[in-house]
Amino acid sequence: MTELLIASDPDPASSLAYLVRVPLGDGLVLRTSGTWPRTKAVCCHPVPLDVWSDVEDVLERDRLAATGDVLEPSPAGAPLRAR
């Protein structure tokens, strides 16, 4: 299953409240000020993948449809779909 994972940033010194793990390649982890797709524009900063290992609880899992390099949000409960 392809999912966008959202967690609270475990780094208390970070001004960006969330970590987002994007399922591209081995994974892409971003510190972010908000959660996509709820917030239209968010401030993001890439961080090393090992930062994700400090995450204790995933706050949200958003299913994505994957079409090549394109990822799209899927409606809640809907099967993954190709475009």
For the chain, give every domain's residue range: 3-73
Supply the pLDDT for residue 69. 55
pLDDT in tens, 17-58: 999 998 888 889 999 988 766 677 778 889 999 999 999 889
Is 46:60 a contact under the CB 8 Å cutoff? no
CA distances 5 to 36, 42, Å, are: 10, 15
Residue 75: band (very low, low, confident or very high) from pLDDT cuts 50, 70, 90:
low
Supply the pLDDT for residue 82. 38
Tokens 């982890």, residue located: 29
Backbone angles phi, psi at 8, to 5 degrees: -70, 140
Supply the pLDDT for residue 7. 94
Taking the C-alpha atoms of residue 41 and residue 36, their distance in angstroms, rounded to an integer, is 8
Supply the pLDDT for residue 68. 58
